[in-house]
Structure 1
Amino acid sequence: MASFAFSWYLFLFLWRLQNSLVSATVNASGTTPCLAISSALPGKVFFQENTAYVSSLGSYYSAQEEEINPACVVIPTCTADVSTALVILNDIHSSNSSSGGFAIRSGGHGIFAGDANIENGVTIDLSQFNSTDFIQPDKSVVRIGAGARWTTVYEVLDPYNLTVLGGRTPSVGVGGYLPGGGLSFLSQRFGWACDAENTIGYEVVLASGQVVYANASGPYSDLFLALKGGLNNLGIVTRFDMTTYSLGQMWGGFVLYPIAILDSMLSAYSDFMDPDNYDRDADMVFAVGYLNPGWVPILNLGMQYTKPVADPPVFRSLYNASVAEDDTMRIASLTNITAEEDAHNPSGYRQIYMTSTFAHTPEIYARAWDLFNSSADQVFAVANITYVFILQPTPILNGTNSLGLNASDIRLNIALVSVSWTNSEDDELVTNTVTDFFTALKALATDSSVDRDFIYANYAYKTQDPIDGYGAENKARLQAASKKYDAGGLFQTGVPGGFKLFV
């Protein structure tokens, strides 16, 4: 341990000695921190005329993120590269807090502008951290790079009939999903995705550039807990070690119904959410809304059952193949089932997500739809708009995390409005309409005594505050971890994207 510490401080001293002339040049010429990082990491910093820069920018999910132009894109290939970049950025930030701004991206699935990209700053693209490897001979633990996407993870695990608690949308990046709380559709069977038994260790690069390993029992156990919901506030996670679970073939897919049966489907969904009907192998998303051109109403149910059992009893009132307009339910692998999700979430459009949480009560679902349907009247003329209201159940809660969820809430609904459209001149109308809907939905949930403060960060819009929704005690613990591991506030003021701890 002593030799590691000596090597680290020797590296730091030599780098700062070598970089003093580069930093002076950077400051004197008024150029960006990109020059300093490029000097330290030759061949790994890309500017606007480079194809790697263009490719990175073009791989974001939302058009809003693609429209942002960083001064450079840094594409590290190892943890030491990330450490070097952070030492430089932290030095610049320490001397001038208005300089050295940067963003961190994994899969680039963040929605709003600046979530994982930055105008005229440094974007650190973790896409090369994309490996998935078993650590133990018994394959009980898997090491996943922060830049991997869930599809590549599942492709490695499927042949062994194994899985981890990952995302239902396979193009989503691991590094953004897990620190945001990771509501996996496999959580019903195996436990909430922030549970301490699932992600068991994190390799983290701190603001100082120091690389640490955080787990439940080591010297960084407080950091370990803080990372379970701490987003991008505590360091750059380069690796996640996750527990694997046995999973073979499963039943899943999507069923498109005529909107005329919405009332009966809402009633069936309410029955599904009744704690007395809980089946830990079952999960679903209930999506209803409109598509343009034509303002076509849709009622689309995504259902998954983590056993190779077709039409299990828990879904009997929700699955009716005889009236379906389209039906892809089948027994298949996890990779095959999740691949379909991307078809329902094409990239390249303007996007907005916004979310809230309410507990199950039978009378709320039809009333929530009425509110959403009224809001839809405000945006029906927006070009190429998809305007969808989605209900997603949480599992029965367990485990340890920073999210402030109460295990006494047997079933909760994560409510999401997902909107895509094409023209920037419609941004304000769409955003205001969605905001007004959630104001009305919160009032309805409050009136029904089922409103909850929890805001699922991975679905939150920039005007929302998911960290505040964790509760005062959890927020204070996250703030304490930030002050301990990032005393200079690099990730609070140097990384403007995401949701901050001190607001």
Structure 2
Amino acid sequence: MTSLPHLGVSRLILACLCWLNINAVIAAPKSTAKQCSKLSLLLPSKVSYPASPSYLSSIQSYFWQQSEALTPACIVTPTSTLDVSIIVGTLTVLQLFNPSSALFSVRGGGHGTVVGAANNNGGVTIDMSHMNSTTLSPDKSIAFVGAGARWNNVFAALEPLNLTVSGGRVAGIGTGGFLTGGGISFFSPEYGWACDRIAGMEVVIAGGVVLYVTRQLFPDLFSVLQGGSNNFGIVTRFDLKTFEQGLMSGGVTVYDVSTVTAQLDAFMGFMNPATFDKKATVIQAFVWQAAFGPLITIDMEYALPELNPPALQPFSSIQPQYQSSQRIAPLSELVTELASFQPSGSRGLYANTVLKPTFDGLKAIYDIWNCTIDSISGVDGIVFSIIYQRVPTTLAGNKNSLGLPSDAGSLVLVELSISWNSASDDTLVATTAKNVITAIENYTKAAGLYNKFKYLNYADSFQEPLSGYGASNLAKMKAASKKYDPLGVFQKAAPGGFKLM
């Protein structure tokens, strides 16, 4: 988009509001129902209401029960950046003149576990799922990916050309929340955070103003969108750097719980810089579920068509194993496999913490988790996991908002993942999760292993991932919010998720 050289962002917002014709469009709204009716006038075929087939289809496609249970007054399904501009412009006017009627949420893939981040009660939900195209630049160096696309479809579109991008590791994950939350991919050991592979973004900010942002154009906004989540606008398109990628090896191996010590030894060896292999990814999960009891699963991926490479042999040699799906396959197949381990329709919670790894530290964290099982084992449908994986490095030359040091690849991300069936157990699960993370962090702080970083996409509502980026980055995000959203639309009218104010 061509920028207007003599207008600041605040004037652009004012100009956009005038274009929307405030008197005709808004007419002193008194409720969210009127907000929906005004959007219906502007986008008549793209607003749906409760009980309509399109509304129900959108609601029923959420991954987690807690998001599906929310009932917005209407759902708007844009198909273009212009649609999003009209929606945000209208919401900005509402925020200015009648803030109580301006509640909205933005939904990409709908996989987030924080209640209210991608849906709401009584407001407007903007469902980006129809903005899902994947196309290539003429030289094939950039993939233009819609913010409503799902990663398995993105990968499948690029695979015939032996190309890919850094994206999600589970089929069905959406592009928008994943990338604006940082993004860990199977290619992070080589290419860093997925957000660092963004060449440019088309984003709609407050007032409905459309900006194209890069490291050169609006660099302050570009930087904070890399990790700053939904605080600054709605990204409608990501321009992602491609790279060559054919078939690769990958799969999940399931082990007996008696192999805990060998597993931790293997993981510590994997984290040793002397044995680092930029093609190798390991996700080590200790799992308890009522149907099977305790298990250990290791997802091993290797970005070349090579089975059992040296970097992964310390894991593959551990016995006994119950099953293994290691094979040569396309990326789209491998992410679909991981999705099969967590079917939709349950309730979910993620929380995480980061530490400098030692064998004793990882074993202590395992013990904290293991000692908690009895207190939560009676929860219907419970799957209770603690997961270890490497923190990606921010590669030289990239300036995202995450605040990680250049040696972040030596850190371990510890994710607590819980799913269950009934809302009646929500309080017990949430309390258990907070207690486990608190106990882990008390230990890592006392042992000198603690790192304040939290991965936003795996954070729970009791955590503050944006503060974990550091005071300097948090100040930059707050400054960008005031500059590009002076009315605080994305802080006040879109309160879900992790906010700056």
Code of the residue aligned with 1:13 in structure 2: it is C
1:20 to 6, 19, 23: 23
Q: Say if 1:101 and 1:11 are closer, same or farther in 2 by CA, change over 3 A.
A: closer
Alpha-carbon shift at residue 98 of structure 1 (Å): 2.4
Q: Are 1:46 and 1:53, in contact at CA under 8 Å, matched by a contact in 2?
A: yes
Counterparts of 1:93-492 in structure 2 under 5 Å?
Answer: 93-135=95-137, 137-195=138-196, 198-218=197-217, 220-293=218-291, 296-320=293-317, 323-398=320-395, 399-492=398-491
Counterpart in 2 of 1:61?
63
Q: How many pairs are equivalent?
A: 494
Displacement of 1:395 after TM fit?
3.2
Distance 2:370 2:488 in 1: 43
One-letter identity of the residue aligned with 2:298 = L
TM-score normalised by L of structure 1: 0.95
Equivalents in 1 of 2:410, 2:135: separation in Å?
Answer: 34
Tell me by how many angstroms 1:322 deviates: 6.0
Deviation at 1:8, TM superposition (A): 9.7
CA distance in 2, matches of 1:466, 1:2: 33
Specify the alignment match of 1:88 in structure 2: 90
Do 2:13 and 2:206's aligned partners in 1 also have CA atoms closer than 8 Å? no
The Cα of 1:11 is off from its aligned counterpart by 6.9
Distance 2:319 2:469 in 1: 43
Q: Is the alpha carbon distance of 1:321 and 1:251 closer, same or farther for their aligned partners in structure 2, counting shifts above 3 Å?
A: farther
Supply the distance in 2 between the matched residues of 1:496 and 1:190 (Cα, whole angstroms).
32
The CA RMSD over aligned residues, in Å, is 1.9
Q: Deviations over 1:3-30 (max 9, x none)?
A: 89899988753531xx524522743x77
Separation (CA, whole Å) in 2 of partners of 1:9 and 1:432: 45
Measure the CA separation in 1 of the matches of 2:318 and 2:441: 34
How far apart in 2 are the matches of 1:30 and 1:271? 56
SS state at 1:98 partner: helix
TM-superposed deviation, 1:202: 0.5
Is there any run of 5+ residues in structure 1 with no aligned partner, and where? none
Listed as ranges, the gaps of 5+ residues in structure 2 are: none
Please give the per-residue CA displacement for 1:415-438, whole angstroms capped at 9, x wherever unaligned.
111111111111111111111010
C-alpha contact (below 8 Å) 1:189/1:306 kept by paired residues = no
Are the equivalent residues in 1 in contact too, given 2:247–2:304 (CA < 8 A)? yes
Q: Cα gap change, 1:234/1:30 in structure 2, threshold over 3 Å: closer, same or farther?
A: closer
Contact 1:375 1:434 in 2 (8 A): no
| TM-score, normalisation: structure 2 | 0.95
Secondary structure of 1:377's aligned partner: helix
Q: CA 1:286–1:479 in structure 2 vs 1: closer, same or farther (change >3 Å)?
A: same
Aligned-partner residue type, residue 334 of structure 1: L
CA deviation vs aligned residue, 1:367-420 (integer Å, no higher than 9, x gap): 111000011121011111111111111234423210010113441111111111
Runs of 4+ in 1 over 6 A off after TM superposition: 2-11
Cα separation, 2, equivalents of 1:173 and 1:30: 27
Q: What secondary structure does 1:31 align onto?
A: helix
Percent identity between the two aligned chains: 39
| Counterpart contact for 1:199–1:240, Cα < 8 Å | yes
Moved more, 365-374 or 322-331: 322-331
Give how far 1:2 is off.
8.2
Question: What is the CA distance between 1:292 and its match in structure 2?
Answer: 1.7
> Take 2:151 and 2:32, find their aligned partners in 1: how far apart are those partners?
40
1:406 corresponds to which letter in structure 2?
Answer: P
